[in-house]
Amino acid sequence: MADNTIRRSSTSITLREEPQKDKDLKEKGKEMDEKGKVKGEEKGKEKAEQLPGLLVTSNLKEVIDECRSQVETIAKECRANNTKFRDLDFDLLNDRWSCLIGLDWTVAPRYPSGVMRVTEVFDNPKFFKADGAPSSDDISQGGLGDCWFLCALATISNIPRLVHEVCVARDEEVGVYGFVFYKDNGWVSVVIDESVHVLFIFGSADFPDPYITSRATIINSNSLLCTNAPKWDELSKEEQDLYSDREQFNNLTRKAGKNLTFAKSGAQGETWVPLIEKAYAKFYGNYSYLQGGYPREAIEDLTGGVASLFMTTDILDRDKFWEEQLLKANEDRLFSCYFPGLNGPDGEERSDIRVQGLYGNHAYSVLRARECNGKRFVVVRNPWGESEWTGPWSDGSKEWKGEWLKILPDLEHRFGDDGQFVMEYSDFLDCFTHIDRTLLFDSSWTAQSKWLQVPVSADPIPWSYGNISCT
């Protein structure tokens, strides 16, 4: 007899109240030392611990400690054997198809030319740039349809400590990196090596098409069609003659961040963006799984937060939404946005149709909301690192004159085709139809989960979510 029961996991968040601790904190804050100064260290430390961050579950500390221990053990063993770390569970070189595509060949991402360690791609690779602060400006999408994940990554980068909390441990000399992601009702540790997919690029040409995989075609001595170029020994005599020697060829085509197949950083030599993307691909099994998704789902995976969707046409009071939601961005909540793709005259969806520079079916990060000189502005970013809004208040538009130029520092914005742009709040709501919001939680919240039995009527029935009752 068929079991018409669906089992699914449901997670609920419960606030743990600690009034006595708050009272004790107040007393500590009033204590005076022998010099007559207020002792605020304990209070400040406790306050810092209460900042929203990764969702505190029963296994969070255990998983972080496990991740750090695993990275340390691997680094120690590699040094003892005089080797760099190779992740045999996610080996891009020796198990390329499993890592790239898995079992589903229908959603294959851009095919890379080869695999290189970050120490081969960059002369002086660093996980974070010199100041150690990850930024949304660091993120640029490559030949993988994971704008939703990179949008989420740019969004959490507005709270840099969140990125640091996800990137748990690393040994850059050995090439081992540890991360944590949230899955179902707990945290999972993911450890990877430093190998990344690359495209071997001729000269300085940019990618003409994300799915070209043939050899480079010679146009003239200074201009070559940029494709997945072969190695030096695979070049014809005519192709080799375009370069003085093997070293020059390798320097031009292989030793640059632009030859990374997938995500890359806008800062020279910075590696955290392609490596966290690789860890996320391992988390889900392969790179092709990242082809398409919703930014709210990725933010949940990165923070353990709880996401919800707002349809802009359903907002009853726009003033209230501004004051109670968007103005709290980067405090205890994060936002992203998008709108559906547009159709051509034939009714077919067209990826080349834009709304004043913006693309449908493409995720954008909401970086911040500001009110300046009586106007409301939203700063948004395209994970491509280019291609921006061209409507009112776009970079260099007629609105930017006189006193309005003085608000740029308040908006933390500068002109340039870097993917970041400014929109007036009304235009933002009129353009984007979907707004994702993810609530973050501090350490005073705990996560609890349990299995629910959901009865399903016998076939045939219309599709539904089932008969679910949460009490």
Active site residues: 147, 362, 382
Question: Which residues are CB-neighbours of 453 under 8 A, at least 6 positions away?
Answer: 5, 6, 7
Taking the alpha carbons at both ends of the chain, their separation in whole angstroms is 30
**Side-chain-facing half-sphere of 373: CA atoms under 13 Å:** 10
Coil vs helix vs strand at 374: coil
Partner residues linked to 434 by β-bridges: 311, 338
CA 262 – CA 141 distance, rounded (Å): 7
φ, ψ dihedrals at 344, nearest 5°: -85, -175
Phi-psi region of 194 (alpha: psi -120 to 50; beta: other; left: phi over 0): alpha
* DSSP assignment letter at 164: H
**DSSP per-residue string spanning 443-464:** TTEEEEEEEEEEE-PPSS----
Q: Which residues of 106-119 are buried (b: 16+ CB within 10 A; e: fewer)?
A: eeebbbbbbbbbbe
Partner residues linked to 350 by β-bridges: 342
Instruction: For 16-138, list the strands marked E by DSSP.
Output: 114-117
